[in-house]
Structure 1
């Protein structure tokens, strides 16, 4: 009887082990080979296809090693929760002309998805940065982004690294309940248009405990973004954490509910900012935006509302922005500025900002030109707590 019980127990244990391993779809079992010149695109697609049809939770695994991955589009929906675990390094083709679309790894219409592992997505973007003239050439060829998440729901991205993307590192579109945890973005300060994480028309996006070093915005938030939570993010170098730019295109959707808290910005071009274009083709709104408990170290323009955002002189400053900004707070922001102007709140003449609170600000500047200054226009903010420097002194504060 004891032997029978032991045998049954072993069979039960073996069945469980088989079930656990059956949930892993290792790309090397589908023909992927370690080596920077060995393309694993087909192996990844084959593993995903089988995993996606599984009725139990499954994970596509890219083991340790270095692999070439060409342009890939991963499609859902799948029959059960699914993930991709990247333990090695995936390298994109260095030549941007090898891409047909605007994404390297694109994931579409997947629910209950996890992307994790300690691996790296290396976009090999230096060649694309040298060719990038999109700032002043509307007809430019768009380089691919490292990771595109389109209509992904109830998902987590954690512990992976995006390196040297040719364009944005991450683009989030039409997603709901998507979290980035312990995520890393790395690119040269001179890299062009390499936003760390760009969010548009998505609801419930969380970015926590993340490090972003890049050549553009660490996080940029576009129209239609709702309930965005950014906490414990280290940003720099880069252009800061930005809402916008907004108001450039017709039919933009409202931005509502942005929280940026407990973040550190170091050697960035800007701090926390809201930016809208003048001469908006249609009215828009951005509201309930709160920036709190933020440390700035050698940051240019630490606190900024700019409704005259007009890079490369692509707009008409004489026509004011039609984006209405309201219910905004900047609280407990402290540190050092690399620019003399540390608080700049320039709102629209046609739709002045409303219900803006500035509280407990302690920002110092030690460069040429004298002490730190502030500027306010078309706004009457509420001040609470400490104000160093005194804000909106001798500024136009029309309502």
Structure 2
């Protein structure tokens, strides 16, 4: 297996140190490595990220959306730029590698290009996107959404549990809510976007492969189902006379699971929360809300999810005399990676002697939104036991270094590659 150590003995140490140093910026009152968007640890960590970019020889600036950009100048700055990077925020109780690998690794790749004397014809932009993870406002990929002009006024009106709007959170963080989409580097033509990331699943480790080349990023359909029954005394109302909203919701949870288990291709379905309006232990639940999501890279199957689940849940709830209301939303459609970028990554890996496999992404990424701006690709490295979004999240430095090796070689090849701009969604 090819690793970076054969090329640059100091890279392992820099990657280890970078991940360890960034992990120190965390909320001490929360589990794991918690560094949520707009939080104090996140604000402080961004100074570290900018300093790390400068140390690698990059020109650093922060755009109006809050994305931190490190620029490595090319010989022809007027040519469409290459873009790479990821994010450094985490979920509550998260780990040290998700997103972080893509930023620390991209900075390392830029450093190696500069220190080796390799000068690209195009500018290379290394991006730490603001707030990729889902947050208290229920919206992910804030920085890349803004760059792609997909952040809306309605999004800024979203409120958290305290009644604070997303727009106000931006303002409190020192960003102008009226200028978030004024991202000039993203308004210019871009040649390609490439994101290095941990797999967040077990496939690469199980197959003992060091590299995955992403074929598509999952579409996500989410819904909130509200079950309305009858509040009755739990001790005096017979089982046959009840209109139990909780039972109808429980049946719906199982229906969601069956939907995911029945997917013909890559598909998963998860219920994340079930809440009863009543807290009384002796009252039959009359109002229950359930939050669920379904993901797949199979466009046809995912397109039929809404109809299938709505029908099944309504029928079963009706058997219990319970009414159901649905609020469906599309987090993102299925996004295909650029075939041209996939081919360039594959060729670079083959030349390096790095074994790889094509792999879909079951998680969403900043790459989803960047795909509307440039041909997009992603490189995955293994995750131990497939664990992610938890303190046990782990990727070996050897695997991270291998990913950086592939990233460097791919960026060199992309610099002169002819790429077709085709629609990313399907």
> Structure 1 length normalisation: TM-score?
0.24
More strand by share: 1
Higher relative contact order (CA 8 A, sep 6+): 2
More helix by share: 2
